[in-house]
Structure 1
Amino acid sequence: MEIYLVGGAVRDSLLGLTVYDRDYVVVGAQPEQLVQLGYQQVGTDFPVFLHPKSKEEYALARTERKAGTGYTGFICDFGPQVTLEDDLSRRDLTINAIAQSNDGTLIDPYHGQADIAARSLRHVSDAFGEDPLRVLRVARFAARFYHLGFSVAGETQALMQQMAASGELATLTPERVWKETEKALASDHPQVFFEVLRRCNALAVLFPEIDTLFANEAANDSASQPSVAEHTLQALLHCASISSDLACRFAVLCHKLTADTISGLCKRIKVPTEHKELALLASRWHMEVHQLSKPSVAQAKDILALFQATDAWRRPERFAQLLLCAQAESGLSDYPQLIQLWQWFNELKTITAAPFLAQGITGPAIGEAITQARLQRLEQILEGAGD
């Protein structure tokens, strides 16, 4: 029985990145042997075990045969006869198909080290085309490693185009699509994920709502202003530079879509409710926030309506997210509305129901009185600012 460190841990170590998780492959063993050594079996489709002390994952070397559609249509074979090279051959990218023995020796039958040096994301074999999930994974790796200069190899790009045309992407479950998207949104360059998907024609299949933003791109080629799609991806990049909040990043991605389109997208790929709510708010209110760069007394009602409609009084943390979305969409590092709106908000929230209750006002009249008092105070603030 031989044990090798494999996958992301080896890759990230070679890239000089922090290694957080370690996965191992076990060659020349049966499940019973690992159980006898105290490993806990957790895999069902194929044997995966947890180390008795470290709880790190150890998987028996295995091969896979395509036996159906989608990313689950595989038959897994494992046992002492499966070699390390066999196991590595089923992996997605060459940079993920490098193993390391206990003495530090690297086993690299598919030239992953050369592709690391060339900063190339290249598939290991044609078996890559049997798993539609790998299209999303490559796009995610392209986003994750963009800052290191990685790009998708030409032959892998061509294979991904074939996969998009085959119809296999439609077999992906909403949960898997969202999981990969969520990981991509967490990267420093999340816009690359969507750019890669579009180049291989997968964006129209997986995210038709986002793909429609590119519809008029050709007509804008000669324009001095970026197209709607270009602006959206630039805004997404800016959002990633100012906030790690994934709900904000998703909202910025969707801010040019209609409410119905956003709702349909979120329902189809099962986006978390808080992401959907923020996306709807960003789509509806980002322009109103922009227009407050030089506020006047005449805008007092609009400002108050912004606070009211976004439920800022009860959910100030979500209002803060909305302002970050607006700033990201603006492309500005210095966004005065961010400070102004919070100053006004903190001033107006001190106006509460207590004095009106003391006056004997009850029922809906209390809310009306609070709103009117806040409007008057906001008008006073804006008049003072204009002096």
Structure 2
Amino acid sequence: MQIYKVGGAVRDRLLGKPVTDIDWVVVGATTEEMLAKGFRTVGADFPVFLHPKSGEEYALARTERKSGRGYGGFTFHASPEVTLEEDLIRRDLTINAMAEDDQQNLTDPYHGQRDLEERILRHVSPAFAEDPLRVLRVARFAARYAELGFKVAPETLELMRQLSESGELEALTAERSWKEISRALMEDQPQVFIQVLRDCGALKVLMPEVDALFGVPQPEAHHPEIDSGIHTLSVLEQSALHKQPLTVRWACLLHDLGKGLTPQEEWPRHIAHEHKGLKLIKAVNERFKAPKDCQELALLVGQYHTHGHRALELKASTLLELLQSFDVYRRPQRFEEFIAACEMDARGRKGLEQRSYPQADYLRGAANVARGVAVQPLLEKGFKGLELGEALKRERLKALKVYKESAAS
């Protein structure tokens, strides 16, 4: 029995990056031998065991064969005869197909170390094209290591293109897709993830609503970058630079989908794109079964982001309606995330990345003013039920009018 550290732990050590998760492969062992050593079995499809002390996962070396569609369409074979090289060849990228023994002796049959040095994301074997999830994984790695100069090898991008055209991507479950998408959006350069998906034709399959934005112009006076797709990538880039949470990044990706529906004869203006885009945002949310908080914020940002930009011009009554829509009294964090998404949208414009966004503090102040209206005096006046709600709304409107006047002076 021989035990090797494999995959990301080896890759990241060689890159000088922190190693978080460690995967282990056991060569030359049987299930019975593992159980005899105190390991506990957890693998449903192939033999995976938990270490009796550390709880880390150890998998028996295995081969795999394509037997159906999608990510799960494989049959696995694990036995003591399977070699380390046979186990490594089934992996996606050469940089993930290296192994180390307990003395840090490297096993690198597919030249992963060379590709690390040359900053290339390259597939290990033609079997790469059997697993559609790898399209998303490679795009995610491209986003993760973009800062180090990594690029997808042309021949790997071609395989990804073939996968995108094969119909295999449609076989991915919403849960698997969302896991990769959400992880990719939280990388330091999530815009690279979207760009790589577009480069290989996967974006128009997975998110045609986002893909449709590329080539759609916007008024240059407001958007020096002009192209709606480029703008979306820039907004996503800003959301990562400003360390925004997943909810905000997802909203940034989807906020302008309505612009893809504007007839060409109306370009570069996009009247009512906020409202038009809601059905598209809803469709993308449902397709990937995004978490509820991501879905809600994406829809609210899509509908109201131009309100955010025009905050200083809004009438007090419109401002109150905006605050009510976000339920700022019970869900203050959601409104804070809306403000963040609006600011990222404003910064995601060529040459305007550093421009201040006074609307942010103005909106926070308005929310504080509305929240500060006390209910008790109205109760003491005998208001209750619907009448109490209307009275509270009137008092909040008065307070916002005062706030608006003081801000203007």
User: 2: distance between equivalents of 1:110 and 1:42?
Assistant: 29
The residue number in structure 1 matching 2:188 is: 188
Residue 363 of structure 1: CA displacement? Answer: 2.7
The residue number in structure 2 matching 1:385 is: 407
The residue number in structure 1 matching 2:333 is: 317
Q: Which deviates the most, 340-349 or 94-103?
A: 340-349
The residue number in structure 1 matching 2:307 is: 288
State which of 350, 367, 376 in structure 1 corresponds to 2:372.
Answer: 350
Which residues in structure 2 correspond to 1:91-240 (within 5 Å)?
Answer: 91-216=91-216, 224-240=224-240
- The amino acid that maps onto 1:120 is I
Q: Which deviates the most, 6-15 or 373-382?
A: 373-382
2:309 and 2:342 in contact (8 A); partners too: yes
What is the SS of the residue equivalent to 1:213? coil
- The amino acid that maps onto 1:94 is T
The residue number in structure 2 matching 1:279 is: 298
2:63 and 2:86 in contact (8 A); partners too: yes
The residue number in structure 1 matching 2:384 is: 362
2:135 and 2:160 in contact (8 A); partners too: yes
Answering whether residue 391 of structure 2 is matched by residue 375 of structure 1, we say no
- The amino acid that maps onto 1:187 is E
TM-score by length of 2: 0.90
Residue 225 of structure 1: CA displacement? Answer: 3.2
What is the SS of the residue equivalent to 1:4? strand
What is the SS of the residue equivalent to 1:75? strand
- The amino acid that maps onto 1:303 is L
What is the SS of the residue equivalent to 1:68? coil
The residue number in structure 2 matching 1:53 is: 53
The residue number in structure 1 matching 2:360 is: 338
What is the SS of the residue equivalent to 1:339? helix
User: 1: distance between equivalents of 2:50 and 2:244?
Assistant: 32
2:219 and 2:226 in contact (8 A); partners too: no
The residue number in structure 2 matching 1:326 is: 342
Q: Once the two structures are superposed, what CA deviation does each residue of 1:139-171 show, in whole Å capped at 9, x if it has no partner? A: 010011111111100110111111111111111
The residue number in structure 1 matching 2:319 is: 303
Residues 219 and 127 of structure 1: CA distance in aligned 2, closer, same or farther (over 3 Å): farther
The residue number in structure 1 matching 2:71 is: 71
Q: Which runs of 4+ in 1 moved over 3 A?
A: 217-220
Answering whether residue 284 of structure 2 is matched by residue 265 of structure 1, we say yes
- The amino acid that maps onto 1:344 is A
User: 1: distance between equivalents of 2:80 and 2:71?
Assistant: 25
What is the SS of the residue equivalent to 2:63? strand
- The amino acid that maps onto 1:291 is R
Count, aligned residues:
382
Residue 340 of structure 1: CA displacement? Answer: 1.6
Residue 67 of structure 1: CA displacement? Answer: 1.6
Residue 241 of structure 1: CA displacement? Answer: 1.6
Q: Once the two structures are superposed, what CA deviation does each residue of 1:184-232 show, in whole Å capped at 9, x if it has no partner? A: 0110111111110110001111111211112536999xx9533111111
User: 1: distance between equivalents of 2:402 and 2:66?
Assistant: 71
What is the SS of the residue equivalent to 1:102? coil
2:40 and 2:52 in contact (8 A); partners too: yes
What is the SS of the residue equivalent to 1:59? strand
- The amino acid that maps onto 2:289 is K
What is the SS of the residue equivalent to 2:212? helix
Residues 135 and 219 of structure 1: CA distance in aligned 2, closer, same or farther (over 3 Å): farther
Residue 308 of structure 1: CA displacement? Answer: 1.2
- The amino acid that maps onto 1:320 is E
2:4 and 2:101 in contact (8 A); partners too: yes
Which residues in structure 2 correspond to 1:30-49 (within 5 Å)?
Answer: 30-49=30-49
- Listed as ranges, the gaps of 5+ residues in structure 1 are none
- The amino acid that maps onto 1:155 is E
Provide the alpha-carbon RMSD of the alignment: 1.7
Residues 217 and 11 of structure 1: CA distance in aligned 2, closer, same or farther (over 3 Å): farther
User: 1: distance between equivalents of 2:145 and 2:44?
Assistant: 32
2:7 and 2:96 in contact (8 A); partners too: yes
- The amino acid that maps onto 2:106 is L
Residue 381 of structure 1: CA displacement? Answer: 2.3
